[in-house]
């Protein structure tokens, strides 16, 4: 969907801006997944599967003891064979009426009918006979293929590679897995008024967005750079034109103030506006544009986030996150549904993104959720998507959970 106010050049404000849903959809459909590549498991965390994860083996790969005790063949009492079988070892077949000491995870000797747990058996003083209540056949055995069969698909493409996925891939016999290339992201923070340390002074404020957005962007891409750009048309144009990133994210400079150059720079570079202002509070000046391709032909995008900190977060959740998820090849997640614990205040015409606390599937608005504030966000579990007019207590509400690094 092209919500552009013009296909290139200076955007002209035509009619009302897109709704929040339209803007998110435009960001989702702006790109396709980046190409697949194979990576060592140790380098695959945070990527997304480009192919199904297929079992290279039955799991368990062999009949296994689920307990420490004895592998037994047939009903007891049993003749106790010398020795034992530990995890990682193999033993000779077990004759009917005999037992062999076995450890959890050890491969069962052929002929085993059940495992007798250590606490359920007694060895006679001679050490040659074992007694105890006969376990039902199959008891405390993890049979070969219980979890999966070789060749079976365990996870679909589009699955995010979490620590659990890495563990499963290793258990299923993989050394490398096929994942999508992650988008390269660069953050450009605009504003001559920003300080890098200490409290605000002399009309200047601390840069709150580099510390906030850098780790967030790292969750969705390879953040190669984060730079402060002075409020200067040429410097901004050079920084954007020269960026090798797939996605350039800027903060500040989206409005029409005396030092807000972003629209003019994008127009001059021949960018195509996909979204230019959204009917959402905070963050309505947020934008998404397709930049001219890189020298090697790669497509490139730029998302302009408003400078007010919560507005920048709203823009990240609305435009940047969906775009990065698409480039990463991630399957679209089901919306996270909650119930409003109390009334959630809305804007008369626009969607409102409201920091909320989540408890027992309910969402409660937090104070200090103004566009220039971060106090509510820092206490929150996510941003509630409140439609125009607000929601009354008990209504269903979608909540965007902000990503957390591992
Ligand atoms: N005449 C109008 N003025 C403004 C409008 C409007 O519609 N008409 N919209 C307002 C809204 S809403 C927003 S949001 C801001 C967007 O402004 P910009 O994206 O151009 O951002 P700046 O002007 O550069 O900064 C706004 C504000 O945020 C502070 N800021 C910027 N960067 C940071 C940072 N890294 N860390 C902390 N704070 C930051 C900056 O100091 C300003 O206070 O425009 C409104 N104006
Ligand atoms: O869109 Mo602005 O963030 O409300 O101040």
pLDDT digits (tens, 9 = 90+) for 80-133: 999 999 999 999 999 999 999 999 999 999 999 999 999 999 999 999 999 999
Name the CATH superfamily for 37-58+155-180: Molybdopterin biosynthesis moea protein, domain 2 (3.90.105.10)
Please determine, for residue 314, whether its predicted confidence score (pLDDT) is greater than 90: yes
Q: With cut-offs at 50, 70 and 90, classify the pLDDT of residue 259.
A: confident
Q: In what order do the strands lie in the sheet with 184-190?
A: 222-229, 184-190, 247-251, 300-305, 287-291, 272-276
Peptide bond before 338: cis, by omega within 30 degrees of 0?
no
Please determine, for residue 8, whether its predicted confidence score (pLDDT) is greater than 80: no
Q: What's the rounded mean pLDDT across residues 252-268?
A: 89
pLDDT in tens, 46-62: 999 999 999 999 999 99
Q: What confidence score (pLDDT) does residue 333 get?
A: 86
User: CATH number of the domain at 64-142, please?
Assistant: 2.170.190.11
Q: Ligand 2 centre from 368 Cα, in Å? A: 14
pLDDT in tens, 139-182: 999 999 999 999 999 999 999 999 999 999 999 999 999 999 99
Q: Ligand 2, residue 311: give the atom nearest the CA.
A: 3
Name the least confident of 177-186, 248-257, 305-314.
248-257
Q: What confidence score (pLDDT) does residue 14 get?
A: 54
Residue 267 tokens read as: 């127009």
Q: Ligand 1 centre from 322 Cα, in Å? A: 23
Q: What's the rounded mean pLDDT across residues 291-310?
A: 96
Measured CA to CA in angstroms, residue 405 lies from 21, 88, 196, 314 at distances of 26, 36, 23, 19
pLDDT in tens, 264-286: 999 999 999 999 999 999 999 99
Question: Which residue minimizes the CA distance to atom 32 of ligand 1?
Answer: 307
Q: How is 130-184 classified by DSSP, letter by letter? A: EESPPPPTTTTEE-TTSSB-TT-EEE-TT-B--HHHHHHHHHTT-SEEEEEPPPE
User: CATH number of the domain at 336-400, please?
Assistant: 2.40.340.10
Site residues for ligand 2, CB cut-off 6 Å? 281-285, 306, 308, 311, 371
HSE at residue 342, side-chain half, CA atoms within 13 A, is 6
Q: Ligand 2, residue 306: give the atom nearest the CA.
A: 3
- Percent of the residues in the chain that have a pLDDT greater than 70, as a whole number: 96
Task: Read off φ and ψ for residue 40, nearest 5 degrees.
Answer: -55, 150
More confident residue, 196 or 401: 196
Which ligand is located closest to the Cα atom of residue 287? 1
**Is residue 315 within 6 Å of ligand 1 at its C-beta?**
no
DSSP state of 364: E
Predicted complex ipTM exceeds 0.85: yes
Residue 162 tokens read as: 């979490």
Instruction: State the Cα–Cα distance between residues 252 and 306, nearest whole angstrom.
Output: 5
Domain ranges (residues) in the chain: 20-31+182-328, 37-58+155-180, 64-142, 336-400
Q: What confidence score (pLDDT) does residue 389 get?
A: 97
Mean pLDDT over the full length of the chain: 94
Task: State which H helix or E strand residue 20 sits in.
Answer: helix 20-28
Are both 20-31+182-328 and 37-58+155-180 of the same fold? no
What's the burial of 136, exposed, middle or buried (CB within 10 Å: 0-12/13-18/19+)? exposed
| Residue given tokens 């439609």 in the structure block | 387
Which ligand is located closest to the Cα atom of residue 228? 1
Task: Read off φ and ψ for residue 247, nearest 5 degrees.
Answer: -130, 120
pTM comes to 0.91
Q: With cut-offs at 50, 70 and 90, classify the pLDDT of residue 336.
A: confident
CATH 3.20.20.70 fits 20-31+182-328, yes or no: no
Q: What's the rounded mean pLDDT across residues 241-249?
A: 96
Which ligand is located closest to the Cα atom of residue 282? 2
Q: What confidence score (pLDDT) does residue 392 get?
A: 98
8 Å CB contact between 159 and 180: no
**Is residue 328 within 6 Å of ligand 1 at its C-beta?**
no
């Amino acid at each position: 969907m092209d919500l552009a106010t013009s296909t290139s050049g200076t955007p002209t404000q035509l009619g009302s801006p897109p709704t929040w849903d339209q803007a998110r959809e435009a960001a989702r459909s702006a790109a396709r997944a980046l190409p697949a590549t194979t990576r060592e498991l140790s380098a695959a965390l945070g990527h997304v599967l480009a192919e199904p994860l297929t079992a290279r083996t039955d799991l368990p790969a062999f009949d296994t003891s689920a307990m420490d005790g004895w592998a037994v063949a047939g009903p007891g009492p049993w003749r106790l064979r010398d020795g034992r079988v530990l995890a990682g070892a193999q033993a000779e077949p077990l004759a009917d009426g005999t037992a062999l000491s076995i450890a959890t995870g050890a491969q069962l000797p052929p002929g085993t009918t059940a495992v007798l747990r250590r606490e359920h058996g007694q060895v006679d003083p001679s050490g040659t006979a074992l007694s105890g209540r006969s376990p039902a056949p199959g008891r405390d055995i993890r049979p070969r293929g219980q979890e999966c069969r070789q060749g079976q698909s365990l996870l679909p493409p589009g699955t995010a590679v979490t620590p659990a996925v890495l563990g499963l891939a290793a258990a299923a016999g993989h050394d490398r897995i096929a994942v999508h290339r992650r988008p390269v992201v660069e953050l450009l923070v605009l504003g001559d008024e920003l300080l890098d340390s200490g409290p605000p002074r002399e009309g200047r404020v601390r840069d709150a967005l580099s510390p906030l957005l850098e780790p967030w962007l790292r969750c969705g891409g390879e953040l190669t750079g984060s730079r402060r750009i002075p409020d200067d048309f040429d410097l901004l144009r050079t920084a954007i034109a020269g960026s090798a990133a797939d996605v350039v994210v800027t903060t500040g400079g989206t409005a029409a103030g005396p030092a807000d150059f972003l629209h003019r720079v994008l127009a001059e570079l021949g960018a195509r506006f996909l979204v230019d202002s959204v009917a959402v509070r905070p963050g309505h000046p947020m934008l998404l544009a397709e930049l001219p391709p890189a020298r090697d032909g790669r497509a490139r995008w730029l998302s302009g986030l408003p400078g007010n900190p919560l507005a920048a977060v709203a823009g990240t959740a609305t435009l940047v996150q969906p775009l990065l998820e698409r480039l990463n090849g991630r399957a679209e997640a089901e919306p996270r549904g909650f119930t409003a614990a109390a009334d959630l205040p809305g804007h008369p015409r626009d969607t409102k993104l409201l920091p909320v606390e989540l408890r027992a599937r309910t969402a409660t608005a937090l104070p200090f959720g103004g566009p220039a504030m971060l106090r509510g966000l820092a206490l929150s579990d996510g941003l509630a998507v409140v439609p125009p007019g607000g929601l009354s207590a008990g209504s269903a509400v979608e909540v965007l959970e902000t990503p957390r690094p591992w």
